[in-house]
Structure 1
Amino acid sequence: MTLVAFGYHPVISILQSPYFCLKKVIIQDKYQNDKVLSKWLAEKKVNFQLLTKGEFERASFSKKSQGIVALLHDYDYLPLSRLWQIIPQQKHPLLVMLDRVEDPHNFGAILRTSAAFSVDGIIIASRNQVPVNSTVIKVSAGGIAHVPICRVNSLGETVNELKKRGYKVVAATIPNPLSISEKIAECHKFQISSPTCLIFGNEHHGIKKSLLQKSDCCLFIPVNNNVSSLNVATSCGIILSWLVLSRD
């Protein structure tokens, strides 16, 4: 399956990223003298096709493409063993784990937010989870180029591995997660003081009970006006902003 990315800045980000292999870039001739684009096309040795404005429009590309489209090979997920090797040797790495997120728009928005807050990696399951597709790439607005994504067979086993490596596993949930954990706090009262993995759950059912039971603590966002919960991508943005600001 060929993945598609379009827009000047997203395509430049993908050209700079170590996580993508490009088949071809199709460019409107207005970019033929663009030095940044030319530099990266040459450096990555990417095949490209130059079209006039009329030819580009007749190719039926979206009007939002800004005159540049990248055709990509399937996304090459990073093995978990490789993630441990590339995580920066900083004091408190931060990972995000997604449990059965189904909407590509949510996944893409989470990737964009994770890139903005310098998350060190995303972990997803190989089943019951939207994969990286063209919609995810589009919504991430280039963010997917900056955050490695690991796809694993079992999130539960991965949590066990994280704990062996000294990670604190934190579940983002609603204020009353069926008393799964006695350690529950408002997100702005939590401070990162060790390597941390933050779990976000399914849009309808939240985080599986088995993962909640393995979590070291739970965080929630205090809300008003009887709003029961927030969109998972919105919650991710709010909680990551607090956690990154609190990182020692």
Structure 2
Amino acid sequence: MKKFDKKNKGKEIKSERETVERENIIEGRNPVIEAIKSGRTIEKLYVSKGDLEGSIKMIISLARERGIVVNEVERKRLDDMSTTKAHQGVIAVVGEYKYYDLEDILNLAREKGEDPFIIILDEIEDPHNLGSIIRSANIFGAHGVIIPKRRSALVTATVAKASAGAIEYTKIAKVTNLNQVIKELKENGIWVAALDMDGEICYNKDLRGPLAVVIGSEGRGVSRLVKENCDFVVKIPMFGEISSLNASVAAGVIMYEVRKQRGIKGE
């Protein structure tokens, strides 16, 4: 029988609390600026003493306008709090990230009068990739990103930093079963495409209309069952010696192709 160790148990509890706190922080100047602008609940804001110029000055001004208390601390304290190791002299402790439902994403498309454009991530475990994909989803006008509850990176400080603040404006849904979500999307008249190497070249496929695109994990790609439940499979053609793209780069390419086919109306 395993012995109950009170001493170690206390350490484990402390570790769990620290993990939760790290998931409730945003680091870096752009992510913090976007969090304040978007109206995200900021519980505490820390800035490095003696580093009050440029965008840090803007952050302090925005915070004070919204009644957020600014704490000037030694840079060493920020270094100790940081999980990204790239806090740029500012860390915000925020309320827990509010995940959305699939219906929230569909409603956004309806409100905009647009065909739904949704990104589904099949076990993207690298937080940098998740953040980059969320950033691209925002830039290319996707209405939301869907991630599974298990075997996936979640919204943390690293994801917020990699997204450059896009987590504040992009609806992210966390779901139990991707295959069930794909079924619901189909019932709502949305085509579901998997991005995988055995598909049709994406440039030759009509990607207009209601569409969800599944991006597979960094090492395994789209899982077999998920791919079988998709309506069709597309691929990005490769012209060099390397036969695969980083997941976030592949996501950016396919999102741009969807936006191009729908008509680019941006700047």
TM bin (shorter chain): 0.7 to 0.9
Partners of 2:45 and 2:91 within 8 A in 1? yes
1:58 paired to 2:70: no
Contact 2:60 2:70 in 1 (8 A): no
Residues 37-92 of structure 1: CA distance to partner in whole angstroms, max 9, x if unpaired? 5345534x43332x2xxx43232436843332111233221122333333343332
Are the equivalent residues in 2 in contact too, given 1:188–1:243 (CA < 8 A)?
A: no
Correspondence 1:5-20 to 2 at 5 A: 5-17=26-38, 20=40
In the alignment, structure 1 residue 169 sits paired with structure 2 residue 184? no
In structure 1, the partner of 2:95 is: 73
Distance 1:231 1:36 in 2: 33
Residue of structure 2 in register with 1:204 after alignment: 219
Higher mean Cα deviation, 164-173 or 224-233?
A: 224-233
Which stretch of the first structure deviates more once superposed, 194-203 or 55-64?
55-64
2:159 is aligned with 1:136? yes
Unmatched 5+ residue regions in structure 1? Answer: 177-183
Q: Which consecutive unaligned segments of at least 5 residues does structure 2 have?
A: 1-19
Q: Please give the alpha-carbon distance, in whole angstroms, between the structure 1 residues aligned to 2:63 and 2:214.
A: 35
Provide the C-alpha distance between the structure 2 equivalents of 1:168 and 1:194, rounded to a whole number of angstroms: 8
How far has the Cα of 1:231 moved from its partner?
1.2
Give the corresponding residue for 1:113. Answer: 136
Contact residue 80 and residue 150 of structure 1 kept, 8 A = yes
Task: Give 1:7 deviation, angstroms.
Answer: 2.3
Residue in structure 2 matched with residue 179 of structure 1 by the alignment: none
Alpha-carbon distance in 2 for matches of 1:215, 1:185: 13
Which of 214, 223, 240 is the aligned partner of 2:255?
Answer: 240
Shift of 1:189: 2.2
Pairs aligned (count): 234
CA 1:16–1:226: 2 relative to 1, 3 Å: same
In the superposition, the TM-score normalised over structure 1's length comes to 0.84
8 Å CA contact retained: 1:187, 1:219: yes
Residue 112 of structure 2 aligns to a residue whose secondary structure is coil
TM, length-normalised to structure 2: 0.79
Partner of 1:160: 183
Q: Is the 8 A contact 2:41 2:94 kept in 1?
A: yes
CA 1:129 to 1:41, structure 2 compared with 1: closer, same or farther past 3 Å?
A: farther
**Dislocated runs of 4+, deviation >4 Å:** 31-37
C-alpha root-mean-square deviation of aligned residues, in Å?
2.3
Tell me the CA shift for residue 108 of structure 1: 1.2
Q: Are positions 1:25 and 2:45 aligned together?
A: yes
One-letter amino acid of the structure 1 residue matched with residue 38 of structure 2: S
Q: Distance in 2 between matches of 1:70 and 1:187?
A: 40
Do the aligned partners of 2:150 and 2:176 also contact (CA within 8 Å) in 1? yes
